[in-house]
């Protein structure tokens, strides 16, 4: 009779990174409501004010290759801390910007730090997470980020009443506090110190690309970036312009989508450790595709809210499994390197292209067409996983 092996406990280091991730996402949400208004206060138009948001994503994309090399040379933990420090410093500087171009420079610099800590965080989570509960760890980490992104705009909206510069100062202070906590809590950690190991070479990108699951993950990451951009740019506008709802109701659509994420992430992470990553990604992208198509076909506000909730559940099913795929592929193959960077760049590319292309389609042919295109892309991501093997490492009990 075979005895079932108990799942390993969640390492303390995971909780440290989850807490820091929550603070980072919370702070990002705090400045989100103030940023376009702050840029507009310098006398620029709507397009220039929106470009402040794009500058952050563009710098993330441009600096991603360098961040991978830095992580490989110095380790995940130092680059994670340095990246958060750069974001904190640039955010504090943005609070005191005197011109539009100063604000643009400081926000762009923040994008450099953002990709550094993103790649460092992914590498750390891969190192720290026990193989048997990778999906659960990924679900917990993703949930922390989403909860922070839900709470941030609420706090940020309140802080704007004290002045457009106040949210930036609050975010910077929170980031400095997160740096101190992560440094102190991981300083003597055996698991976190593995990032100093130079004995194992980083996995070559060509080797990773020979794995069907990794190729599908990269494709899905790009579409995920597109979907995220669609969620934060087109969905609120759709509720406002097409469904003729107040701005506050349009904001609730984002919260509804995020709630769907949170509902699904933890159960999906646990389930992916049992049945594999592939079934959760196929099912999640299919659910997302159908929900987005339903959004394209409705003019009823309540049905639109239901569609956004279901779409959030779809992305929540996919997100932890995607991160677990990276851990499966890179298991025992050294720090960071081009495998992580390529995945991150793919997602950032989708985030940069999504608002431009999706917005153009919505402007020229209407929101339903833009949502239909997004649904087709989500369906393509699901199809990309049908013919590949699951990456989950199966261990004997």
Distance CA 369, CA 152 (A): 31
Query: Is the pLDDT confidence value at 394 over 60?
Result: no
- At 290 the pLDDT is 94
- At 7 the pLDDT is 62
Distance CA 76, CA 324 (A): 17
The dihedral built from the CA positions of residue 187, 192, 198 and 204, taken in this order, carries a sign that is negative
- At 250 the pLDDT is 65
Distance CA 82, CA 59 (A): 16
- At 382 the pLDDT is 92
Output 7 or 81, whichever has higher pLDDT: 81
- Closest by alpha carbon to 182, among 82, 256, 104, 257? 82
- At 3 the pLDDT is 44
> Alpha-carbon Rg of the chain, whole angstroms?
20
Q: What is the pLDDT of residues 330-341, one digit of tens each?
A: 765 555 577 878
- Per-residue pLDDT, averaged over 70-83, amounts to 81
- Closest by alpha carbon to 348, among 120, 119, 126? 119
- At 189 the pLDDT is 65
Any idea which of 15-24, 287-296, 325-334 has the lowest mean pLDDT?
325-334
- Closest by alpha carbon to 251, among 308, 322, 175, 193? 308
Distance CA 312, CA 316 (A): 6
What tokens were used for 105? 């420079």
Output 137 or 248, whichever has higher pLDDT: 137
Which band of pLDDT confidence, cut at 50, 70 and 90, is reported for residue 343? confident
What tokens were used for 172? 């910077």
- Per-residue pLDDT, averaged over 135-159, amounts to 74
Structural domains of the chain in order of their starting residue, each with its CATH number: 11-195 (1.20.1250.20), 202-397 (1.20.1250.20)
Which band of pLDDT confidence, cut at 50, 70 and 90, is reported for residue 1? very low
What tokens were used for 234? 């087109």
Q: What is the pLDDT of residues 352-393, one digit of tens each?
A: 787 778 778 887 888 889 889 999 999 999 998 998 888 875
- At 281 the pLDDT is 92
Which band of pLDDT confidence, cut at 50, 70 and 90, is reported for residue 4? very low
Query: Is the pLDDT confidence value at 196 over 60?
Result: no
Distance CA 143, CA 149 (A): 10
Which band of pLDDT confidence, cut at 50, 70 and 90, is reported for residue 323? confident
Q: What is the DSSP letter of 231?
A: I
- At 88 the pLDDT is 92
| pTM score above 0.85 | no
Helix extents (H) in the chain: 12-31, 34-40, 46-74, 76-95, 100-128, 134-159, 166-186, 205-209, 212-229, 235-237, 247-275, 277-297, 301-330, 337-365, 367-386
Output 89 or 142, whichever has higher pLDDT: 89
Any idea which of 49-53, 125-129, 210-214, 316-320 has the lowest mean pLDDT?
49-53
Q: Coil, strand, or helix at residue 391? A: coil
């Amino acid at each position: 009779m075979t005895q079932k092996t108990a799942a390993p406990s969640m390492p303390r280091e995971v909780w440290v990174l989850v807490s820091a991730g929550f603070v980072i996402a919370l702070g990002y949400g705090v400045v989100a409501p103030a940023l376009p208004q702050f840029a507009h206060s310098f006398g620029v138009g709507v397009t220039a004010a929106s470009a402040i948001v794009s500058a952050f994503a563009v710098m993330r994309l441009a600096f991603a290759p360098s961040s991978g090399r830095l992580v490989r040379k110095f380790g995940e933990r130092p680059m994670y801390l340095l990246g958060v420090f750069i974001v904190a410093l640039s955010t504090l500087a943005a609070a005191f910007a005197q011109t539009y171009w100063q604000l643009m420079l400081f926000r762009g610099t923040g994008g450099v730090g953002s990709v550094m800590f993103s790649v460092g965080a992914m590498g750390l989570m891969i190192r720290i997470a026990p193989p048997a509960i990778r999906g659960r760890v990924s679900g917990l980490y993703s949930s922390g980020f989403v909860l922070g992104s839900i709470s941030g705009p609420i706090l940020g909206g309140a802080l704007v009443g004290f002045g457009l510069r106040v949210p930036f100062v609050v975010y910077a202070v929170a980031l400095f506090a997160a740096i101190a906590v992560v440094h102190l809590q991981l300083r003597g950690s055996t698991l976190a110190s593995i990032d100093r190991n130079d004995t194992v070479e980083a996995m070559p990108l060509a080797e990773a690309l020979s794995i069907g699951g990794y190729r599908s993950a990269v494709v899905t990451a790009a579409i995920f970036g597109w979907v995220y951009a669609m969620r934060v740019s087109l969905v609120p506008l759709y509720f406002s312009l097409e469904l003729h709802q107040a701005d506050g109701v349009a904001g609730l659509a984002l919260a509804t989508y995020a709630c769907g994420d949170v509902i699904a992430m933890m159960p999906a992470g646990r389930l992916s450790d049992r049945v594999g990553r592939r079934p959760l990604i196929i099912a999640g992208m299919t659910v997302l595709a159908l929900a987005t198509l339903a959004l394209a076909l409705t003019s009823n506000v309540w049905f639109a809210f239901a569609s956004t909730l279901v779409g959030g559940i779809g992305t929540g099913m996919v997100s932890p499994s995607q991160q677990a795929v990276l851990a499966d592929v890179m298991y025992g193959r050294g720090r960071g390197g081009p495998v992580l960077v390529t995945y991150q760049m793919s997602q950032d590319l989708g985030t940069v292209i999504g608002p431009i292309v999706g917005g153009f389609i919505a402007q020229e042919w209407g929101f339903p067409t833009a949502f239909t295109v997004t649904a087709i892309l989500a369906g393509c991501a699901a199809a990309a996983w049908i013919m590949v093997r699951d990456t989950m490492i199966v261990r004997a009990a």
